[in-house]
Structure 1
Amino acid sequence: MKFRTPSDSSSSKTSPAAPPKRFSMRVAEWLLDSPRLGENPNVKHIAGRLLKQPAREGIVAAQSRLGQLMCRECGNARDRRIGHDLLRQAARAGDVRAQQELGRIED
C-alpha cells in the first residue's frame, strides 16, 4: 500500500504570516477604541500584548498605539521610556498621532 506524501507545491500553500498580525492589530484597536472595554486595565493589558509583536516588526500603527498606551498607562520609568522610543519611531515614519503625542509629552 502506498501512502501519499505531501509534495512541495502543497506545502507552499500555507498562509502568509501577515493575516494574523492584521487580525491582532484589529482586535487590539477594537479593544482600545471600545467605549466600555477600553477603560478596563485588563483589556488594555491584553491589547498591549496583541500590539507587541507587530510593533517589534516595524508596523507603524502598532508602534504608535503601543507607545501611547505605554506612556499613558505604565507606572514605571522603563516602560515609559520604551513607549517614548516607540512613539519616536512611529513619528519618524510619519504617523501623525505619534507626532501629536510626542508634542504633548515633551511640552
Structure 2
Amino acid sequence: MKLRGKPLASCASSSPLPPNKRFSLKVALWLLDSPRLGDKPSVKHLAGRMLKQPARQGVVVAQSRLGQMLCRDCGNARDRRIGHDLLRQAARAGDLSAQQEYARLCQAQEE
C-alpha cells in the first residue's frame, strides 16, 4: 500500500474531517472489526485505502489502525516503516493501543 503526497509529520495539524470522510473512516473501522470480514486480505486492502486519507489528515484512530495493519500485514520494508511512523504519531497523540503496539515493535527490534 503506497502513501503518496504530503509527508506524514506535516499532516498533524489539519482541520476536522468532512462528513463523507468520517463515513469512510467509520466503514473502514467496521470492516476491520467485523469477525467475518476483518481477516480477508481484500477487505484489509479496502479498509487501508479508506484509512489512508484520514491518517494523513492527523486523525489519531486512523493513524493507529493503519499503522498496525502496515506493520503486521505488509511484507515490504517501506510499508512497515510507514506503519511504524504512523504508530509513533498516534502513540504521541495518546492512543493507548498505538502506544502498546509501538512499544512491542520497539522491543522486538532491540532483540
Please state which band the TM-score falls in when normalised by the shorter chain. Answer: 0.7 to 0.9
- Larger of the two Rg values belongs to structure: 1
- After the TM superposition, which residues 71-90 of structure 1 pair with which residues of structure 2 at under 5 Å, given as runs? 71-90=71-90
Q: Which runs of 5+ in 2 are unaligned?
A: 1-15
Matches of 2:85 and 2:71 in 1, distance apart? 10
Residue type at the aligned position of 1:64: S
- After the TM superposition, which residues 18-97 of structure 1 pair with which residues of structure 2 at under 5 Å, given as runs? 18-97=18-97
Matches of 1:42 and 1:26 in 2, distance apart? 18
**How many residues of Structure 1 are paired with residues of Structure 2 in the alignment?**
92
Note the alpha carbon deviations across 1:31-72, whole angstroms, 9 max, x for none. Answer: 000001001000000000000000000111100000000000
Q: After the TM superposition, which parts of structure 1 deviate over 4 Å for at least 4 consecutive aligned residues? A: none
Structure with more contact order per residue of length (Cα contacts < 8 Å, sep ≥ 6): 2
Percent identical across equivalent pairs? Answer: 74
TM-score (norm 1): 0.83
Aligned-pair Cα RMSD in Å: 1.2
Q: Which runs of 5+ in 1 are unaligned?
A: 1-15
